[in-house]
């Protein structure tokens, strides 16, 4: 069990050794959450939710009705659902989908993601391309990684201008959708 105060929110998390960062909240996730400002008007997606920390913090800040958690791993869905209940968020939407393939919700103002950056780039590429399409114009995709060059280039090619927030060894990327079309169709 992990107990912590994240972004001014007390959370309790059940963990599983088969999930990412089972002993503590990942430093990259904490770096990302330290950069994001949420409002009650936001509609938030925790993309690749794992144990659910990002979505749970968001739901406690803005309400569970405006937050969705998404992961392709059945174990992550089970643990995130359990953690939502543990934190008094029984109605939090926790959805299993391979990326956006089985998930139809759109109109997000914030998508937060700590992608699997130690694997190939197939998954983050899908998250960036499809995430762009699920954001409202003016909405923001947040990604945290230790592999800056590929993410910087990919995010700029899709979103155009991208802000970087250094939290060594991590960088938190803030990519805001300025128009309905990709910045560079290539």
- Look up the pTM and report it: 0.94
- Buried/exposed code over 65-78 (b: 16+ C-beta within 10 A; e: otherwise): ebbbbbbebeebbb
Domain ranges of the chain: 2-176
Six-digit token string for 158? 């899709």
In which band, very low, low, confident or very high, does the pLDDT at 3 lie, cut at 50, 70 and 90?
confident
CATH superfamily of 2-176: Vaccinia Virus protein VP39 (3.40.50.150)
Question: Per residue in 48-73, pLDDT tens?
Answer: 998 899 999 999 999 999 999 999 99
CB 49 within 8 A of CB 26: no
Cα–Cα distance, 77 to 100 (Å, whole number): 15
User: Helix 53-62 vs helix 74-86: angle between axes, to the nearest 10 degrees?
Assistant: 40
Average pLDDT in the chain = 92
């Amino acid at each position: 069990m992990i107990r912590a105060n994240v972004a001014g929110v007390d959370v309790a998390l059940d963990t599983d050794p088969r999930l990412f960062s089972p002993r503590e909240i990942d430093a990259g996730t904490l770096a990302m959450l330290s950069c994001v400002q949420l409002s009650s008007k936001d509609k938030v997606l925790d993309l690749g939710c794992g144990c659910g920390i990002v979505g749970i913090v968001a739901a406690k800040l803005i309400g569970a009705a405006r937050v969705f958690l998404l992961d392709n791993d059945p174990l992550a869905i089970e643990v995130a659902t359990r953690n939502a209940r543990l934190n008094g968020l029984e109605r939090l939407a926790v959805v299993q989908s391979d990326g956006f393939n089985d998930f139809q919700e759109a109109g997000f103002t914030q998508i937060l993601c700590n992608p699997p950056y130690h694997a190939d780039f197939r998954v983050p590429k899908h998250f960036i391309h499809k995430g762009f399409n699920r954001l409202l114009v003016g909405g923001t995709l947040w990604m945290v990684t230790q592999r800056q060059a590929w993410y910087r280039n990919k995010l700029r090619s899709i979103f155009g201008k991208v802000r970087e927030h250094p939290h060594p060894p991590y960088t938190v990327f803030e990519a805001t959708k300025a128009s309905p079309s990709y910045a560079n169709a290539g």
